[in-house]
Amino acid sequence: MAQFIGSNHFKYILTQEDFKKNFSSFLHAIDEPYADSSAFAVYLLSKYVKEDVTVALSGDGADEVFGGYRKYFADFKIRKMKGSKKALLKLTAAGLKSFRSNRSDRWGELNRKVQKLNKGLLLDHQSRYIKWCQFIEEDGREKLLLHNFESIAPSFNDFDWEDLISMANSLEFRTPFLDTKVVDFANSLPASYKIDENGGKRILKDAFKEILPTSVLNRSKKGFEIPIKQRLNDEIDKILNGPLFTNGYLKNQDLFKPEYINNLRLEWNQPNFGDKTYMVWALIVFQYWWNRNHASA
C-alpha cells in the first residue's frame, strides 16, 4: 500500500521483550478500566511512532460511523434472513453446541460465531447488539460477580482511551473520522450507504474504488488485539498470584467471588483456557485501576 500511494512505510516488529518490558507502564497509563487488549498494541505503537513524529492520524471511529464492525454486518444478515435459513442456523448451532467454541483455533472460532449468531436470532436488534458487545456471558457474570451491576456509567467514552494511551507517550492522535462534520454527514445517510450484502463501509469503499487496489478494498477486517496468552503468560500468572487477587483483597473489595477467581488462577496455565483469557485481561486492567483509585479511599 505504501508503494502504491508513494509514502514512506516503517515496520515496527514487536518482540516478546517489548510486551514484557512495557506491560506495567501500560497498566499504569490507563485512567479508565478499558478491557480491550488492543489498547496495549496502540500503546506500544505510539511509543515507537513518537520517535519520529509528535502528531499522527488515526482511523479510529470509521467502523462506528460507517458500519465496519462484523457485528453490524451480522445484524444486517439476520434482519434479511428468511425462515428456512433461520431454521438451518438453529439446527447447525444445536449440532455443534457440544464442540469447542472459542478463539483458540479456526474451527473453535467458527463455532463461536455460529453460536453467537444463533443466540441473537430471537432478540430485537438493540438487545442483540448489546449482547454481541459482551465478551462475558450472563452465566459467566453470575459466577464472577458478587453483585448485579445493571448499568454502565453514562459518562464512559469509548474513544477517550486512545487519546490517553497516545499522550502517555507524548504523541497526539488526530481522528478525522470523528470530526463532527463527518459524523453528522454519516448520520444523515441511509443505512444502505453503509452496509449491504457485500459488507460494511460501503460509501467509503465506493468513494475510493478508483484509487485503491482491489486487494486493499476487499481485504478482510483485522483486529488489533494482542495474543495475550502467547506474549504475557508469565507476567499475567505473577499478577494472578499477586496482592491484587488474594482472598483478603477480594473480600475487602467486595466485587468478585474469590472462589471463581481462584479457579481462574489455577486454570490459567492449563491448555485450552480459551476465551476466558479475555476475562482475565479485563480483570487485571480493572484491578490495577481500582487499586490506584479506590483501594485507599
The whole domain housing 95 covers 70-144
Does residue 173 form part of some domain? no
Strand partners, 197: none
Contact residues for 232 (Cβ-Cβ < 8 A; gap 6+): 19, 20, 23, 226
**150 falls in which pLDDT band (50, 70, 90)?**
low
CB 86, CB 121: distance < 8 Å: yes
| % of the chain beyond a pLDDT of 70 | 95
Quick check: 274 and 229 in contact, CB under 8 A? Answer: no
Kindly state whether residue 234 falls inside one of the protein's structural domains: no
> What is the share, in percent, of the chain residues with pLDDT greater than 90?
49
Is 85 within a domain? Answer: yes
Residue 136 located in a structural domain: yes
Residue 240 located in a structural domain: no
At residue 297, the pLDDT reads: 52
pLDDT level of residue 155 (50, 70, 90 thresholds): very low
pLDDT at site 201: 94
Cβ-contact 18, 27 below 8 angstroms? no
What pLDDT is attached to residue 226?
87
pLDDT of 157: 56
In a domain, 137, yes or no: yes
- Show the cell assigned to 179: 470530526
The domain total for the chain is 1
The amino acid at 266: L
Q: Which of 195, 159, 154 is nearest to 61 (CA)?
A: 159
- What pTM does this model have? 0.85
Residue 127 lies in a domain: yes
Could you please report the per-residue DSSP string of 230-271? Answer: HHHHHHHHHHHTSGGGSHHHHHHHTSB-HHHHHHHHHHTTST
User: Is 128 a member of any domain?
Assistant: yes
Length of the chain measured in residues: 297
pLDDT tens per residue across span 232-282: 999 999 999 999 999 999 999 999 999 999 999 999 988 777 778 888 999
Per-residue pLDDT at 105: 78
Residue with cell 459488507: 199
Locate cell 485512567: which residue?
A: 31
Residue 237, phi-psi category: left (phi > 0), alpha (psi -120 to 50), beta (remainder): alpha
φ/ψ (deg, to 5) at 130: -60, -45
Q: What is the pLDDT of residues 131-147, one digit of tens each?
A: 888 878 888 888 999 98
- Can you state the angle between helices 276-293 and 228-240, rounded to 10 degrees? 50
Q: How many CB atoms lie within 10 A of CB 30?
A: 20
